[in-house]
Amino acid sequence: MQRTYLAFQHNCHLSTLQVAVTAVKRVASLEETNRSLFKQAQDDDHVVITDSTIFHPQGGGQPSDVGDMTTGGPGGARFDVQMVRMSSTAQGEVLHFGRFADAAAAASVFKPGDKVTQRIDVEKRLLYSRYHTAGHVLGSAVRHLLEGEVEGFDETKASHFPESAACEFQGLIDSKWKEVIQRKVDEYVERDMPVEIDWWDEEDFRVNGLERLIPDREGLGMAEGEKFRVVKIVGAEAYPCGGTHVESTKQCGKTMVKKISRSKGMSKVGYFLP
């Protein structure tokens, strides 16, 4: 199975894109591991697979895009995309879960080889991009402040979902740091630092002193020589990241640091965009 080309990783400003349908399946016919990705699926729900996509699949702490796919011409068919995930059985294949507007004609409206136009919800994409970039700003601020202050410090993972946004760190971060972190985050946002996309191989990580961030090529199903996508906050930090982002830290807007919680040697710093 050919991997889906992730067009949004090369141009996250695309809001529409014409793509080719490669498969249409009922959710009920999927393998259990893929069927379980869309727990709220109903009898009329389908999965549409295309050769390329501008829809960001849920992953890396970022929610999936939503939107629709339509065929051209008057009275064209419409497929409402409710959730997008990476397949758990076919490496690199993107599954667009949703429902055809005309459920009775679902079996015939999209066929392999058909050209359809993808359209994302631009407002939600912008919100998710702001949250994702703000999470990197927070992570960078905490690292720059506390890497030498907290025993065993390291960044581990993050959630950029608006209702549960937080960055997690190894090591215990005392609540006294909250205001200090807030000031550093404010500084980074106000400095309007550019956010750039680059493509690195393992040697690029080493040259930049970031060996600890080299991704697992085999785990990602990437071929030898294929480069990793890297998001750089110029003047602060670089992260291997497949998500969508705004163009500068200032576009995140006010980023509020919430409480710092600690458990079992780990710390979680929450944040939100008012």
Question: Residue type for 41, please?
Answer: A
| Topology of domain 125-272, CATH | Threonyl-tRNA Synthetase; Chain A, domain 2 (3.30.980)
List, run by run, the mean pLDDT of 10-residue segments along the chain (274 residues): 91 95 94 92 90 97 96 80 96 95 72 95 98 97 96 95 97 97 98 97 94 88 89 94 97 97 97 97
Identify the pLDDT of residue 109. 79
Residue span(s) of the chain under CATH 3.30.980.10 come to: 125-272
CA distances from residue 122 to 27, 81, 214 in whole angstroms, order as listed: 26, 13, 32
Residue span(s) of the chain under CATH 2.40.30.130 come to: 5-120
Identify the pLDDT of residue 7. 97
> Which of 254, 15, 41, 35 lies closest to 118, judged by CA?
15
Tokens in use for 71?
A: 């065929």
pTM: 0.94
CB of 265 within 8 A of CB of 32? Answer: no
Spatial separation of the C-alpha atoms in residues 94 and 148, rounded to whole Å: 41
Q: For the domain with range 5-120, which CATH number is right: 2.40.240.10, 3.30.1330.80, 2.40.30.130, 3.40.640.10? A: 2.40.30.130
- Measure the N-to-C terminal CA separation of the chain; round to a whole number of Å: 43
Identify the pLDDT of residue 225. 86
Beta strands at 166-170 and 154-159: parallel, antiparallel or unpaired: antiparallel
Identify the pLDDT of residue 44. 79
Identify the pLDDT of residue 260. 97
Identify the pLDDT of residue 72. 76
